[in-house]
Copies of this chain bind each other. A is one copy, B any other.
């Protein structure tokens, strides 16, 4: 009998907790043993999407797994929104390679407390995102789970092989640009968590979410920045590197700097701080810059461009913000505007 697993369990005291390695550490650990067998594999583990060579148009593959109780709480996250968001987060990964998402597969595992009609809500959201972003649902798997709802989405996209943007292409003096308001999704989550606690104490409470509408919407119904990808195409801009901001600005800029072998200076006063963000940060006694640096799920895009391309973006209708530049020395700094600077550390999403 294969009691190997039981034997491993007995030795657990000597073993390594996944939490001590972290998600990024675990990915690095896996990468060490991964070999490449096919010439068509252009980019493997470690970017927003994998890149596969076909003709001059390359395929992009990205995948995400969402687990109830880890990534979402169904007591305040409607299933329709969850379906929508699970598609959006994958479209965003394809955008982050400068590509266009064309197909997705969705696998779902559900415990027996779920009924057909509740799953219909989930698929309504999935289909709505597919319609909005012209993406085809082409496959998947459905099965039961021991506990809760698990959703795994894989997105397939295309990109012109001359326009692929990886994390690794940033050059010295390149401008660092973000596509919109950051930190709102994280604050939306704080509001929803607070209202959940109120509801648990007093189920008759009727929360007024109106003042927090934008924040809650950013958390429950984010949109991928396909408009940015269109804009870059129309204006013949090819960013030197690109990433989507799903884990917070800190960990994303560190990904770009590490992958590119560079450093950066970001300017605290150049990072757009929305009025609602400032107000709600005060209410929750949170530091706005910390929220922006560490809060996740914005699904905005950060990219770097050659300074010569600045004239192509300065009059854009899009909400683009130049927040700093790439440096040759490998330090990642945040200029706090008072003559002092802080080292940026990765405080992104912890999966374990």
Which residues of A are at the interface with B, using a C-beta cutoff of 8 A? 1-6, 8-9, 12, 15-19, 21, 23, 26-27, 29-30, 33-38, 40-41, 43-45, 49-50, 52, 54-55, 57, 59, 61-65, 67-71, 74-81, 102-103, 105, 107-110, 112-119, 121, 123-124, 127, 130-131, 134-148, 150, 152, 154, 156, 158, 192, 195-196, 199, 207, 209, 220, 351-352
| CB of A195 to closest CB in B, whole Å | 5
CB distance B145 to A52 under 8 Å? no
Write out the residue numbers on chain B whose beta carbons fall within 8 Å of the beta carbon of A114: 18
Q: B137–A1 contact, CB under 8 A?
A: no
Q: Is the interface of A mostly helix, strand, loop or mixed?
A: mixed
Determine how many copies of this chain the complex contains. 2
Contacts of A146 in B (CB 8 A): 67-70, 147-148
Complex contact B62–A17 (CB within 8 A) = no
B16 touches A117 (CB 8 A): yes
Q: Which of B16, B52, B143 contacts A138 (CB 8 A)?
A: B52
> Beyond A35-B131, A116-B18, A138-B52, is A156–B61 a contact (Cβ under 8 Å)?
yes
Q: Do the beta carbons of B199 and A1 come within 8 Å of each other?
A: yes
- Residue of B with least CB distance to A49: B139
Complex-state Cα separation, A131 to B35, whole angstroms: 8
Distance in Å from the Cβ of A77 to the closest Cβ of chain B?
A: 7
Knowing A1-B209, A115-B12, say if A35 contacts B130 (CB, 8 Å). Answer: yes
B121 near A156 with CB under 8 A, answer no
Asked if A117 and B61 make an inter-chain contact with CB atoms under 8 angstroms apart, the answer reads no
Kindly state the separation between the CA atoms of A93 and B226 in the bound complex, as whole angstroms. 32
A-B contact sample (14 more), CB < 8 A, given A5-B77, A65-B109, A146-B147:
A3-B75, A5-B78, A5-B79, A5-B118, A8-B121, A12-B115, A18-B115, A34-B137, A35-B127, A37-B134, A40-B103, A41-B102, A50-B103, A67-B143
Instruction: Give A6's nearest chain B residue, CB to CB.
Output: B75
- In the complex, what's the smallest C-beta–C-beta distance from A351 to chain B, in angstroms? 4
> What is the distance, in angstroms, from A69's C-beta to the closest C-beta of chain B?
5
Bound-state CA distance A192–B1 (Å) is 8
